[in-house]
Amino acid sequence: METREKVRTSVVSGQFYPDDPQILRNQIKGFFARSSSSPQEDVCALIVPHAGYDYSGQVAADAYRLIEARKFESVVVIAFLHRMYLRGVLVDDVEAYETPLGRVPVDRERVREIQACDPLFRNTVPGQIEEHSLEVQIPFLQMTVPQLKIVPVYIGVQDITNITVLAGALAKTCENRNTLVVATTDLSHFYPYELAVKKDTALIKKFEEGNAEALYDSYVKEESEACGMAPVLSLIQLARRLGWNGPRLIRYMNSGDVTGDKKSVVGYAAMAFKNSLE
């Protein structure tokens, strides 16, 4: 993902999702047309997958359909770095991100507010970011949120310090503001279908219980498996600080449900938080 005039250009268009704008729009519209979700005014945060659209796009669409056509001051996307080592958290201060659907401005004012909260936050990294987990969220957001502005956040080391400090900073900048927060993760990787469903169902239940500390402990002990555990735990801690309700499961699938190959699958979940009590 090159920085050109402080614009992050696409790394995985043509791989994880179509690089032709019309084909991409039609694919996302198709996901929405098949979704059983409908827009809800009190949804304030989402957990979404980040695999190729052919595999996890329908699950992601069921989450994004909940906020379709709603306006937000900005959308905070919490991702993580698969291929680059970073001890802290990158809150990216570029001007925009670019996909086949166009450029999305970064809310640099909100970025700087978060950066000012703690020395842990960095606005630059050595070299370029070759990362898909955040990028694949942007076309969905472009198709759902009018006047979209994003706050791109990448967690480096998935440790409790990064999780807790990020949650605290986001609580300061999100309280009493019309913000959507998106955390991205896939679930278990490369287990047989039935075992994957068992593992993922247990983890989803833990997410719904909302005990971030217990979840982190089970992650460290390798009892719970999710490649984006830190983004999810940051969001769960944030929700606890702001009194949000959730997360609640919207849809679960794995790659075996899409391809029919159930020997080795990857799990995907869509979950939502609300800013009202149920």
In a domain, 1, yes or no: no
Q: Which range, of 1-10, 71-80, 245-254, averages the lowest pLDDT?
A: 1-10
Tokens encoding 10: 């696409």
Spatial CB neighbours of 175, under 8 Å, sequence gap ≥ 6: 242
> In the chain, what percentage of residues exceed pLDDT 90?
84
pTM, two decimal places: 0.95
The CA-atom distances, in angstroms, between 189 and each of 90, 196, 252, 272 are: 26, 8, 14, 22
Overall domain count for the chain: 1
In a domain, 2, yes or no: no
3-state secondary structure of 1: coil
What is the extent of the structural domain holding 200?
7-274
In a domain, 180, yes or no: yes
Residue 4 has pLDDT above 70, yes or no: no
The Cα 90–Cα 200 span in angstroms is 28
Q: What is the CATH number of the domain that holds 166?
A: 3.40.830.10
The Cα 148–Cα 70 span in angstroms is 10
* pLDDT tens for each residue of 190-242: 999 999 999 999 999 999 999 888 898 888 888 889 999 999 999 999 999 99
* Higher per-residue pLDDT: 201 or 125: 201
* pLDDT tens for each residue of 13-54: 999 999 999 999 999 999 999 999 999 999 999 999 999 999
Q: Which amino acid is at 58?
A: Q
